[in-house]
Structures are given as C-alpha cells and as structure tokens.
Chains A and B, each alone.
Chain A
C-alpha cells in the first residue's frame, strides 16, 4: 500500500508509525526532488492509495490536495493537534454529506500512532487479507459430549467441523471488537 504522508509538526512521529506498519511512503521531500511524475501517471493522486496529512496549520497546497482527494474519493486521514483545530478547513470538509473519504482526528502523542494504525489497517488490502486466511494449525481436545454436539451442528449447517469452529470464534471476535471500538479513544470524527 502506498501513502502520501505530509507532516511538518510531529517531529517524525507519523513517519515512524507508518514505517512500522510497513507501508510505502511518498512525502513532499520526494515530490520536490523529482522532475516529473512517474511514467504512466496523468494525475498526481493516482500514485497513492491513501493520504495521511497533518492539518493543524493547513497551507494552500494542503487545501488543494484535500479538495482533489474529496473529489476523487481517495481515502485520507486528516490529523490535527488536540485543542488546535483548523475550524475553517474542517467546516469545508464537512460540507459534503457523509460518507466522506476524508476522516479527521484530533490527536495527542498517545493517540496518534493508534489512529494511524487503525486507518492503515482499514485501507490496506494486504493487512485485511492476511488477517482472514486460516494459516495457524491448532490442536484441540474435546469432550465426547462436545464432539457429538459439534457433529450434529455441522451436519445441520452443512459445514465441516473445522469451518464451524472458525465461524463461532469469528462471530464472537466481531461482537467483542464492536464493543471495544465503542469504548476506544481513537474514533474518527466522521
């Protein structure tokens, strides 16, 4: 996954978190250092899958990039320091009705990496696929009663016992995640 990252405020915290997540980064420094767009690209946003931009003090270039991102429905995470919200820009972003491709988030040093982590996981296909492929071998002893129940239920549902066990765990995990997200500090504004 390739992300355009624009950060002139956090002293490298954002880039560090993105590097930890293993995403490919395009930064303003890289853009400034080149003479042209890479071969095959006619529009600058086509080079990236998503954007992460620090917007506490937005420049005209940032406003332009975000305007194009809204139009192109390109996912973007717009981060601003807690208690320093760029009100006018946020008002502009929210003029279009939801769902919006741009998510905004007021961050602290603690919540910043969590927000970036969440955004990347939501939009990185590689991370999503990896999470849902059965790849870990597990040995499990059951009681005869449990085994009989499993056999009857799997026949009733037309599934193998292994698939049935995985579906029960998946269901529990998703319910638990929804509950946890409700309690989570990292909730995007929109």
Chain B
C-alpha cells in the first residue's frame, strides 16, 4: 500500500468529546482505522489556556515550527467559537509556508470516544480524512475545506446561507475523488514558517451591547474588538476606551479607532482584519531595530500587505 510521509494532526483541547485530553485523542486516532488507509498520522494535543484567549494558537504555531521537517503536512483542529479568526491568526503567525496546513473546526466531533455510530461522528471523521489527504498534496499555505472546496483562510468569510465562502472567489482546489489542485494555487516549496507569535497581551472581543451597557472591564484591555451586525453610528466613539486601539467590525464596514481618529480598513475580510489587528499590535510592541514593524503605526501595519490577505478591489 502506498502511504505518504506522515501528517501531523494537531487538536486544540475542548471540554467534551474526544478532545478533552491528549490520551483520549490519541486513543481515538489509533482506533480510527480508515484514517490509517489514507496516511501515516501523528496526533498531537494542545491545551487551551484561560489566561490568554489565543495562547493555544501561539502553541500550535510554535509546534508546527518545531515539527516542520518531520511531517509532509499539518492538520489543525480548532475550537468552533472563533474558528475563522483563529485560522487567520495562525496564518499570520506562520507567515509564508511551503507545505499544506489544513485547518478544520471541531464541529460535529463525536461526543464519546468509542461512539462510531451516528451522523455526527462520521461527519467529523470524514472531515479529518479529507483534511489529511489534502495535507499530503502539493499545495502550500493555510487553508480550510468547505463543501469540498479548498479555501485560503485569509480570503474566507462567513455569509448566510452558505456559511464559509471565498470573499475573492479564489479557491485552491477541491476534494473530488482525490485532491484536485487549481492551476493558480501556491505549490510546495522549501519555505519554512517564520513563526512570529507575539500578540497584544490582553485583547477583548465584545458585542456592541456589552460596550453600551459597560459590562466588561475596559481599563484592563490592551486592544478591543467590537462587533455589531448593524451599522455603528459615529457617536459610538465616545464610548470607546482612549488608552487602547479599537477595531470596529460592523454592518457599515471595518474601522480602526486609535488616538481619537477613526480610519476605515479596506480590502480585508472581517476575520483577516481582526487577526491582523491583534497580530500587528504584538509585532509592533515587540519589534527591534531590524523588524519591519519597528516604529510603525497600527494603521500603517494594517494597510501593508504581509501575505496574500489583501482582497482584490470590488468593482
């Protein structure tokens, strides 16, 4: 039987199902016989840390950096709650990569490790197999598989009723009786990830209602993201903290509020804008003389392309 070089499957811990701890996940992986027909795989487990909301993504990125040479590709299973934001964060943290890094949510994971029956368990297993097969392909970059299409995460957005779609129309291929790669998709290279994992230390992500009702501690946050499905009026700025940068993600677009100034952020998906916001603040705060972020404003850093995150202008 032909098997590729091994694939690493990195799962972030949850409080239920097969992802409660490393031993349970390893046992589930060992008993997943169909996966063994697809590729050699190595399960890895990363705990979530309550102290920083995205520390597990930093751990995943560092783990990929350390294990880069040992595996032909990587599958990363992330919590559902901020799945697209965290996928984008991972992409920025890794930088240019010359191998496939396939992200997938823990949606429909089996609730019992030994539960092989029921639709939910099968759907999750099918997703893991699709991702693992894609991780052995000739693609390079951080992407997800949605409705059989391989979507680069930095161009992916949620829209009803289809869920995740490509904001630019760009896809990298599909899973269709094997993995078919589009001609324009990035191909494998020897590029290693740069692994720059610094983030703003105390970010807060809130709905606009929490801002209006002052139900969170503004004074402690180092950066704030405010969500609203509806357009936000200009008067919202009077409620924003003045000591920390704020990203507003609302029905009337994405705006950065800093030092009393409001600037619109263009040509990024909402998830890419949020991830880049959190990431560039960390890069700026930790920049040394040699860093491209040394002395750069958040506004300028957000506007400067890092990877392929900038969407083509809409006509």
Q: Do A and B belong to a common assembly?
A: yes
A contacts, CB < 8 Å to B = 4, 6, 28, 31-32, 34, 36-37, 41-44, 58-61, 63-68, 70-72, 86, 88-89, 92, 95-96
Contacts of B26 in A (CB 8 A): none
A186 CA to B180 CA, complexed, in Å: 36
Verify if B4 is at the interface (C-beta below 8 Å from A).
yes
A129 CA to B125 CA, complexed, in Å: 35
Stretch with Cβ within 8 A of A (4 or more), from B28-36, B81-89, B251-259:
B28-36
Do B2 and A44 have beta carbons less than 8 Å apart? Answer: no
Verify if B99 is at the interface (C-beta below 8 Å from A).
no
Please report the total number of B residues contacting A with Cβ < 8 Å: 28
A92 contact from B2, B37, B129, B133, Cβ within 8 A: B37
11 A-B interface contacts by CB (under 8 A): A4-B177, A6-B177, A44-B176, A63-B2, A64-B129, A65-B177, A67-B38, A70-B37, A71-B122, A71-B126, A86-B1
A175 CA to B185 CA, complexed, in Å: 59
Q: Which residues in window 12-36 of B have CB below 8 A to A? A: 33-36
Q: Would you call the interface of chain B mostly helix, strand, loop, or mixed?
A: mixed
- In chain A, what residue has the closest Cβ to B182? A35
A96 to chain B, nearest CB (A): 6
A64 contact from B38, B125, B174, B180, Cβ within 8 A: B38
Verify if B148 is at the interface (C-beta below 8 Å from A).
yes
Total A-B contacts with CB atoms under 8 angstroms apart:
78
A96 CA to B125 CA, complexed, in Å: 15
Contacts of B39 in A (CB 8 A): 60
| With A60-B2, A64-B129 already in contact, 5 other A-B pairs whose C-beta atoms are closer than 8 Å | A37-B176, A43-B126, A59-B2, A61-B179, A68-B126
4 smallest CB-CB distances across A and B, nearest first, come from A61-B178, A88-B1, A67-B37, A67-B34
Asked if A43 meets B178 with Cβ closer than 8 Å, knowing A66-B37, A71-B34, the reply is: no
Do B1 and A63 have beta carbons less than 8 Å apart? Answer: yes
Asked if A31 meets B122 with Cβ closer than 8 Å, knowing A92-B37, A95-B33, the reply is: no
